[in-house]
Amino acid sequence: MTHSDHPPASSALPVDLDEAVHRCLVAGFDGTTGVPHTLKRLVDRGLGGVILFTRNIRDAEQVRRLTDELRAIRPDLLVAIDNEGGGIGHLVGAGAPEVPGSYALGVADDPHLTARCADALAGHLATLGITASYAPVADLQHTPRNPIVRTRAFGADPALAARHLRAWITATEARGIASCAKHFPGHGGTETDSHHGLAVDPRPQEELRADLEPFRAAVAAGVPMLMSAHVVYPAYDPNRPATLSRRILGDLLRYELGFEGVLVSDALEMKAIADEYGEAAGARIALAAGADQVIVAVPDLEVTLACRDAVSGALRSGVLTVDRVGEAAGRVRRLAERYATPASHVAAWDAGAGLEAARRAVRGRAVPPAVRGAHVVDLFPPPHPALNWGGEDLLTEVRAVDATATGTAVTGEPADPAAVVAAILRATGDAPLVVATCDAGLHPWQERLRAALLARRPDAVRVDTGLPEGGALCSYGRGRANLRAVAEVLTGQVRAER
């Protein structure tokens, strides 16, 4: 037992208050089998939830054993995961349904189809014993330079996002899974990823009001959780990011939007919080500001313990009130009463909904004739360290429908771009050339490689696998379903929408 498992007797909180403190924490951890001793102690003392990542996933049977083992310690433990669909998810190894990201669903703009995709994701979670999903994204994608929202959003139009959020939340609720709209009050107007630094949205209140509408729709639809953004909005609060702001969490969310569910922070180890405040202080300030749970996603449980101890210390000193922690813990208990117990029977879901949605989302600016036997060059950034990437690439999906295709995948800026271009052109020979990029405007090395290839092969077919950037075709996402759908259009299996 470490010194952190129990505080000194002289400073220990009453048992019910100690449990309340633990209810306000969500912890990440390492491993696919067995529950670490420190995590067991946290769960014993009332830990509100755990969050799973790719590091915890091997296959479906293993995940179900792990979630059963966690609940055997404490049945009312919430087991959660990020499960947005598209390229954002951690359950590829566990057979996750192939569902495109939210932007593709917004492009197809069929809320019934969105509901079918959300139902597939939620049904799969239920079979694994995971009962809380930190999805859907309610942000609006405003800024071309935004590095983190992009195809995770349903789009830029508040009304469109609102109708798809309603469909997603309703379908997820029908499966007995808790959904979570994020990142309040909207991360789509920033040019900084809050994983890497403090993000600021400088727009005036009259412009920010549109970003509230999807969240307002989510609240009206009965979403049980909202997640806050680690973003400073000077028009609302010039001093603190939303996660730590009473004005935003209290006045704006609780009072104006009338949200009564569980407000959970984004992960505290993100640099917007960790570098500016530290995780432990962030936990204390977030709870004081009105958050009900704080997430510590890193597997180092000492960070979770430090956050717990900071909250306990603030209670003992009077910096944090018993009423505030009691209120937060009460909301978490009510959430657990509704969602902590997995369904005993899980009905089948529509396994084809995701590919149908992805096909309906592919758009062509000047749809090319069928390209067979092509050399496919797929340029895309390396995976985001906090978001899963399941290894999807366009060449694999093209070869699934055209075995004669060849190709080259380039993930990350090459050390010798000229050599890469020369090797691609040699490998292509006289075959058709397809050049795919993903968010090239954010990654200039892609623009340079594409320009060098097009200078030699102006007949090459351009494909965009992120947001549109002038290509002949756009998939609006890099999930496997997105890439399969655009591969089918390229090879003439399916027609694209114009």
Residues with catalytic roles: 195, 266
CA distances to 6, 22, 57, 59, 129 from 66, rounded to whole Å, are 25, 21, 9, 11, 9
Structure tokens, 387: 């978001």
- Determine the Cα–Cα distance for residues 405 and 396; give it in Å rounded to an integer: 9
Half-sphere CA count of 228, side-chain side, radius 13 A: 40
CA torsion through residues 149, 152, 153, 156, sign:
positive
Residue carrying structure tokens 């990201």: 101
Three-state secondary structure call for residue 110: coil
CA torsion through residues 342, 84, 350, 154, sign:
positive
Q: How many CB atoms are closer than 10 A to CB 360?
A: 20
Q: What angle do CA 382, 384, 389 make, to 5 degrees?
A: 75
| Burial track 294-331 (b if 16+ CB lie within 10 A, e otherwise) | bbbbbbebebbbbbbbbbbbbbeeeebeeebbeebbeb
* Residue 431, phi then psi, degrees to nearest 5: -70, 160
Residue carrying structure tokens 């995940």: 63
Residue carrying structure tokens 């089948």: 348
Three-state secondary structure call for residue 91: coil
Closest CA to 278 of 262, 299, 294: 294
In DSSP terms, 355 is beta-bridged to none
CA torsion through residues 184, 118, 143, 446, sign:
positive
Contact 51, 81 (CB under 8 A): yes
Q: Please list, in sequence order, all residues whose beta carbon lies within 8 angstroms of the beta carbon of residue 312, skipping any fewer than 6 positions away.
A: 7, 11, 13, 18, 21
- Report which DSSP code applies to 288: H
Residue type, 495: R
Closest CA to 199 of 276, 280, 287: 276
